Structure 1
């Protein structure tokens, strides 16, 4: 499953009955829940919200009733600023979060996620992706203005540097390796990369995205010039001729995947932007965080699973192997959607129009039906991406490439927001859990 939202950590110890002894409830000079909450000026529920976010350590009291806290840690938290006036444990912002620019809850006007939908600047993202091209949706996310027919162009010098560098990698390197070095090479060829004025950043974004795509080695006849990004990316992913229905799926997938709130890679990009890294470095930070099985690589797992289903003729034995190994079924369930991922819903609808996708779609439906007997997870976007890449004769890593190219636009949108904030605000406060001072010199 693609990691597209922060996974709230479970509290170090779940809320327990308030310890009646207050300050005397602790051991080793520690204080109890009631006293810690009093010193911070919050309710016990808010205190445990701080614990769940790693802002405050806690320990079970002797006898198992309530929790105890280090008074020095409580005092340090209180000194970092005033607590939020809200006492709601789900939305309270601690002094540490305020000093860190609200790292627990980062203010953003880009993407809103609800139980079954998500929105780009207040507009349903699936409706945007169905109506407009990837480039047009990217412009909407960056500027709040829709520019019909916009095209992105790769400048000759950065593109030449990116191609040379990507081509110099060993032949068995994957597309993610080539994208990462292409971004670095393009940055080195752009002397204006340190200009963080909004228009300069937008210019870098409009040139970097096609540079990354055109730096990838072609899998078939290449499409050069001012064509849409999806049209040019297709020839980097498969040797099959492009048809209109398949290109529509690819373009829509790019638009859908531009952003999804503060996923791990987006948070990494915002941290880099907070330190005033230039846009190429922001994208490099995002690409680094994306490279993992729980984020960008998830669709590759789905691709291989569906290929296995088609080879065996049934999803039953394939799903059984995942469950026997204690693994989740790739492509099922999403941490922010209790039901079906709205991105998957749209992509599956479009895939119905692609004749070559019929076997992969049948395999995906078989996986869903088999998985439903075990639990009730529904399809996420990785299941749709894996079915698409398999149906179009692409390698398993193709979904990750689509994800990376699309999310580059989202990282730039977050960088533009972050450049307008106070520098270095994305600085969390560590919850130190090591030996207490003063320790003897080793």
Structure 2
């Protein structure tokens, strides 16, 4: 029962972070969002440091940790209100260097303390500027870390599939894993076909896509034929390469031309219900029940919908994917290495003799701070200002970073190639070899 409440509280915490940070950017502007994300980062960093600095069975650690854990439900809205009240600025003033230099000769600061510590002073500008630059320079690091964690997950999935095949007494697992691998490859091929229809692809992009996909298919085939890999690893590697290529050339949002074409097609079609009448009747009944909800619940749902509308689709997809691979890298992979599922329910240990597991354990302790930094970095890639009525937005900024995405793809395939080269041939480990021996 304890794990259920832990999952619920973790989900509520994740939802609060995912919604509150873009709200601070969308309502208060860039400085407000930076102030809120930085304050959250510092709070959870100190919380992790307290847990690490005190002994595991210490009453002081238990008391301080529980106090900080209970206070986060007050700290999060308080910090959000504080940042919106104190740091909401003009959207066009996005250059912190010009704000600092320009404010030196202004008459806004009358005393030395106000000039140094006051609103818009040196401490505020340098702090926000440093946090902004740190997140921007860390974006390539986050991208490469995503590829590394993905490779760890692929290897763990390969180990689990080998264990299932070798433990089973029939070919059921072999057939199921082959069907799963084929489904993953088919889905990847569909999205690869969609990439080829993007109008923004030129000859250079087409050449890079061809070389990348061919290399991924070659590595997958080598892994299967040599027995050092298996279809599960190969399908996951190929799908991740296609995912990276897809993210390079699209933002998951329809262009104005595509939206106009879809509206024209919808207008030309006859007014037939898209689903059978019984399903449409159930849908109408469900909508009627939602309208009968109390106004507070209805307003909450409307607020959640509006909050999610401020976030670019690529930000949510990238965040969810990075959370999944990071969680798998810090919790599931050590459990697989320990050959015991009970490790999934245990906290990561810093006393592990394996350096990789020890590093993953350290990262897992600071996972809330890392989540905030990664999410803020993704939001900043889409933050843009304009002279329109909206002034700023989180959906139309230039995401950039395509060069590092290509580097990430090359590094991931290179590491997998090295793993195949250094791996040992095991006649009973691969799905193909197991199929042949049976």
Common fold, TM-score beyond 0.5? no
Provide the TM-score with structure 1 as the length reference. 0.22
TM-score normalised over the length of structure 2: 0.22
Q: If you compute each CA radius of gyration, which structure gives the higher value, 1 or 2?
A: 2
* Bigger RCO of structures 1 and 2 (CA < 8 A, at least 6 apart): 2
